[in-house]
Structure 1
Amino acid sequence: MSGAGFLLTVNFLIAQCFCMFFLAVSARSRNRVAARWFAGCFAVASLSTVFELLVAYVPPAKPWAILAFASMLGGMFMLRVGIGQLYGLKTSRLGLAALFAAFVTVDCFIYDLPRGTLQHALPYQTPFAVALGLSAFAAWRAREKTFVDRALVVLLAVTSAHFLLKAFAAVLAGSGNTAKDYLASQFALVSQSMGAVLIVAVGLMLLCVLVLEIVADEKVNAEIDPLSGLLNRRGFDNRVDALIAGPGPHSIVLCDLDHFKAVNDTHGHQGGDAAIRAFGEMLSAAAPKGALAARIGGEEFLMFLPRTGKEAALLFAHALRATRAVSPIPGLPAGIRVTSSFGVAEIGDREPFRFAMRRADDALYAAKNAGRDCVREAEPPAVVLEVVKRAN
């Protein structure tokens, strides 16, 4: 086997590995359809290596050569469909199919031209450059691009340009007079080496995009309470410091469902879950833009209201209390109402967040002691700080 034949075999195995990687990633990725298109892209494109080997060993050469061209080009167009799926772009599959058919027809017409000439090399390599150029353009059109997305655009553009350069390199270096001569040429060795590098680079970059999305999704899932749909304590803590650093004033609203144990005892855990779910939906719908809403305990909830003073926060809490008091809960009998109590605190200038939480918690207990289903304002920061100093 020649050096080019060996590299063809290596390229085939690399492509098959990437096919399996993308299929594995598709099981966890939210872009599973895109991942499957990428898997198909590498699987179909890898067939070109098989057909190119058949050109050398199984006559007649022409059908295998055209199939090699078509499979490589087909894989590249499948890449374009996958890129569209990845970035949520409209893709004219009929248009891509028509372009594919036109390029394969051109390859049939130029097959008998001398391979070491620009008349053959340029129309042969241009379809590959066009297919990858379409993918680069699609990735560039994506609205939100990370560094990895931009790197993917650059890599696809470079790979596209490299095919045009290969047309001129084939003329300068010589690629043999026939398709069968190609494998024995020096150009084939260089071409397949570059192909192996680009296969790995494109494959790794696409995998990187998908894996980073999986990691981001897992991080979000780890910070979301599945029952209420709100942030959990970890998610709240990871976000609140950045908001506190912004211009104030800021306020927090601590909420607690009244007589929640009784709800569980009377209607079972399904009834308790329904109450938590309904309260979470209410907070999520009512939360102002930029606010944080979290479930921080069994039936305890917390809202951080940025750029909100205590007067506005109190009005907000009263509105929540009134809404919860009169709203039915899906999953519980129609006449059942689950009320809630609220403690409201405005965060003092340079006051540690834990101190503001302590004041809001004291206000919540005051609301509970006042008969529940009510809102209480926290003591000013100075009062709490003075109490802490005396205790120490």
Structure 2
Amino acid sequence: MSGAGFLMAANFFIAQCFCFFFLAVSVRSRNRIAAQWFAGTFAVSSLSIVFEFLLANFPPPRLWTVLAFASILGGAFMLRVGIGHLYGLQANRRHLAALFSGFVLFNYVIYDLPRGTLVHAFTYQAPLAIAVAMSAWAVSRARAAAFVDRMLVVLLVMTSVHFPLKAAIAVHAGSGSVASDYLSSRFALYSQSIGAVLIVTIGLVLLCVLVLEIMADEKANAEVDVLSGVLNRRGFDSRVDALIARRGPHSIVLCDLDRFKSVNDTYGHQGGDAVIRAFGEMLKAAAPADALVARIGGEEFVIFLPFTAKDAALLFAHALRAARAVSPVPGLPEALRVTSSFGVAEIGQNEPLRFAMRRADDALYAAKNAGRDCVREAESPAVVLEVFKLAN
């Protein structure tokens, strides 16, 4: 086996590995369809290697030449579709199909051009360059902000540019007097070497994009309370510091479902879960887009309201209390009403969050002692700080 033949076999094996990797990643990725298209990209493109071997050993050469070109081109268009799914910039598949058919027909026509000329080499490589450039354009238009996205754009541009460069290399190094001479030519060795590098780098970067998104999703899922649909304590703690660091005012609202134990005792844990779920959905729907809503205990929730002064936070809490008091709980008797109590505190300048949380908790406790189903305002930061100093 020649050096080029060995590289072609290696490239085929690498492509199948990437096909398997993308299919495996598709099981966990929210971009499952994109991963499957990428698997198809490597599977279809690798068929060109099979057709190149057939070209070198079996007639008719025109058929295998066109099929080898069509498989590489098809893989490039499948890459564009996959990138469209990944980056949210869908391609018109009818247009792609028409363009693919036109390029394959064009390749069939130019087969009779004299080999070894720049015209033949360039007209063969140009459609491939255009197909890959479409993917580079899509990534750059969609979101080339993250480092891995910028790297993908660079690699795709390099891949697109390398096709016309291969035309010059084909003329200089020689690709054989007929198509079946390709495998034994020096150009095949250069072409397959460059192809191996590009296959590995583009495949790894695409895998990196998908794996990073899977990791981000896993982290997000670990910070969300499954039952209520809002953040859990871990998710709240990981996000709140960045918001507090911005110039305020900011406020904290602690809320607790009234007589929740009696709901569990009467309707079972499924009834209690229904109440938690309904309350979490209500808080998430009512809170501003930049607020943090979290479940920090069994039936206790916290809402961090950035850029919100105490008076506005109190109005917000009163609106939540009223909404909860008149809203039925799905799955429980229509007449049942589960109320809630609230403690509201505005975070003082340079006040640690734990102090503000303590003041809001004291206000919540006062609301419970006042008969529940009400809102209480926390003591000022100065009062609590003075008590803390005396206690220590």
TM-score under structure 1 normalisation?
Answer: 0.98
Distance across 2 between alignment mates of 1:23 and 1:166: 31
Distance across 1 between alignment mates of 2:96 and 2:251: 55
Q: Which residue number corresponds to residue 211 of structure 2?
A: 211
Q: Deviations over 1:127-168 (max 9, x none)?
A: 110110111111112046322112111111110010011111
| 1:241 aligns to 2:208 (yes or no) | no
Q: Which residue number corresponds to residue 133 of structure 1?
A: 133
Q: Which residue number corresponds to residue 176 of structure 1?
A: 176
Q: Deviations over 1:50-101 (max 9, x none)?
A: 1101111223322222211111111111111111111122311111111111
| 1:20 aligns to 2:7 (yes or no) | no
Distance across 1 between alignment mates of 2:382 and 2:354: 14
Q: Which residue number corresponds to residue 51 of structure 1?
A: 51
Equivalent position amino acid for 2:32 in 1: R
Give the match's secondary structure for 1:284: helix
Q: How much does 1:271 deviate?
A: 0.9
Q: How much does 1:189 deviate?
A: 0.4
Distance across 1 between alignment mates of 2:144 and 2:106: 37
**How many positions carry a matched residue from both structures?**
392
Q: Which residue number corresponds to residue 302 of structure 1?
A: 302
Q: Which residue number corresponds to residue 382 of structure 1?
A: 382
Equivalent position amino acid for 2:240 in 1: V
Q: Which residue number corresponds to residue 351 of structure 1?
A: 351
- Deviating more after overlay: 134-143 vs 337-346: 134-143
Map 1:221-232 onto structure 2 (within 5 A): 221-232=221-232
State, as a whole percentage, how many aligned pairs show the same letter.
Answer: 74
Equivalent position amino acid for 1:12 in 2: F
- Deviating more after overlay: 125-134 vs 51-60: 51-60
Distance across 2 between alignment mates of 1:47 and 1:139: 26
Equivalent position amino acid for 1:219 in 2: K
Equivalent position amino acid for 1:88 in 2: G
Q: How much does 1:385 deviate?
A: 1.6
Q: Which residue number corresponds to residue 278 of structure 1?
A: 278
Equivalent position amino acid for 1:50 in 2: V
- Deviating more after overlay: 64-73 vs 160-169: 64-73
Q: How much does 1:289 deviate?
A: 3.1
Q: Which residue number corresponds to residue 60 of structure 1?
A: 60
Map 1:89-104 onto structure 2 (within 5 A): 89-104=89-104
Map 1:356-371 onto structure 2 (within 5 A): 356-371=356-371
Give the match's secondary structure for 1:357: helix
- Deviating more after overlay: 23-32 vs 109-118: 109-118
Q: Deviations over 1:266-304 (max 9, x none)?
A: 011111111111111111111123111111111000011
- Deviating more after overlay: 174-183 vs 4-13: 174-183
- Deviating more after overlay: 135-144 vs 305-314: 135-144
Give the match's secondary structure for 1:304: strand
Q: How much does 1:112 deviate?
A: 2.7
Equivalent position amino acid for 2:358 in 1: R
Distance across 1 between alignment mates of 2:107 and 2:349: 73
Distance across 1 between alignment mates of 2:334 and 2:57: 79
Distance across 1 between alignment mates of 2:102 and 2:144: 33
Equivalent position amino acid for 2:284 in 1: S
Distance across 1 between alignment mates of 2:173 and 2:315: 79
Q: Which residue number corresponds to residue 185 of structure 1?
A: 185
Q: Deviations over 1:231-274 (max 9, x none)?
A: 11111101111111111111100000000010011011111111
Distance across 2 between alignment mates of 1:144 and 1:55: 40
Segments of 4+ moved more than 4 angstroms: none
Give the match's secondary structure for 2:175: coil
Give the match's secondary structure for 2:293: strand
- Deviating more after overlay: 237-246 vs 109-118: 109-118
Alpha carbons 2:143, 2:149 under 8 Å: kept: no
Give the match's secondary structure for 2:184: coil
Q: Deviations over 1:309-358 (max 9, x none)?
A: 21111111111111111111111100000000111111111111111111
Distance across 1 between alignment mates of 2:250 and 2:108: 71
Map 1:266-345 onto structure 2 (within 5 A): 266-345=266-345
Alpha carbons 2:257, 2:299 under 8 Å: kept: yes
Alpha carbons 2:81, 2:90 under 8 Å: kept: no
Give the match's secondary structure for 1:293: strand
Q: Deviations over 1:362-388 (max 9, x none)?
A: 111111111111111111112212222
Residues 124, 87 of structure 1: alpha-carbon distance in 2 compared, 3 angstrom cutoff: same
Distance across 1 between alignment mates of 2:389 and 2:176: 89
Distance across 1 between alignment mates of 2:147 and 2:163: 25
Equivalent position amino acid for 2:249 in 1: P
Distance across 1 between alignment mates of 2:108 and 2:241: 64
TM-score under structure 2 normalisation?
Answer: 0.98
Q: Which residue number corresponds to residue 264 of structure 2?
A: 264
Distance across 2 between alignment mates of 1:319 and 1:60: 79
Distance across 2 between alignment mates of 1:7 and 1:369: 79
Distance across 1 between alignment mates of 2:274 and 2:211: 35
- Deviating more after overlay: 174-183 vs 191-200: 174-183
Give the match's secondary structure for 2:372: coil
Equivalent position amino acid for 2:208 in 1: C
| 1:30 aligns to 2:9 (yes or no) | no
Distance across 1 between alignment mates of 2:52 and 2:42: 16
Equivalent position amino acid for 1:208 in 2: C
